Amino acid sequence: MGFSGFKKYIFFAAAQLLPYCLLCCSQASPEISYGSLELVHYENGGRHAERFTFFILPHDADGFEDLEELWLYHDWEGLSWHLSSKNWVKEVVAGDTWIGSRAIAMADGGTLPRGQFRAVLIDKGGNRTERLYSFDFPVESALPFPSLAITGDNYTIVSEYPEQYFLVFDNEGNYLSTVTPPSHKGDVSALGLPSRAESMALWARHPSQSVSAFTDIVPLRD
């Protein structure tokens, strides 16, 4: 076969494979259907610190497994946080799979920036999409930090947040369940905690302001 014949053969072979590649190598970009950015105040060694809980509801025509990277940028401050399919958290809510992180924080543990954030979702083919989010909750919260105290069989919540939850843990600090207390004061034994429960923390939320607070873990027994 001469060189010109070889070129014709390569062109013919490529033409035969083209429809297959168009069918199997999709160029569809991923989508961000919804997103959530919530500020979390928490206790850390006797002081209060901040984290963002950041989740998106993604969609990819090539399937969920085609998703590879998720970035959160604060362009004004020149900051970025990177997540990948190897380390992002997956949460299934009402049959939908959300991906993200509960640990978006400053490297020095300082206050997170406010203003506009940009989420960028990238699939394995390099296709990407982005979506903007704004978070303008003041640096100085108008809500005092909540507290949880347990004395004997009695618990006491001090909180101005509209929603309260108990996060329950075993003796090794493993999460067991989330319980909604019926009031700010009551009996621990009436909460219906798992038999392996050894401690719990208060999670107080203000959903309309996208802010919440976690107290330190408190032992159930002295």
Cβ(150)–Cβ(219) below 8 Å:
yes
The 10 Å Cβ neighbour count of residue 157 is 19
The whole-number pLDDT of residue 210 equals 86
Choosing among 3.30.9.10, 2.60.40.10, 3.40.190.10, 3.40.50.720, the CATH entry for 31-135 is: 2.60.40.10
Asked which of 11-15, 175-179, 183-187 is least confident by mean pLDDT, the reply is 11-15
Report the share of the chain in percent with pLDDT over 70: 86
Q: Look up tokens 């999709």; give the residue.
A: 26
Sequence-separated contacts (24+) of 9-13 with Cβ below 8 Å: none
Looking at per-residue pLDDT, the higher value among 115 and 209 belongs to 115
> With contact defined as beta carbons under 8 Å apart, do 150 and 176 qualify?
no
Q: What is the pTM of this model?
A: 0.74
CA distance 169 to 220: 10
Q: Is the pLDDT of residue 135 over 70?
A: yes
Under 8 Å between Cβ of 121 and 56: yes
Q: DSSP 3-state assignment of 24?
A: helix
| Alpha carbons 72 and 82: distance in angstroms, whole number | 7
pLDDT at residue 3 above 60?
no
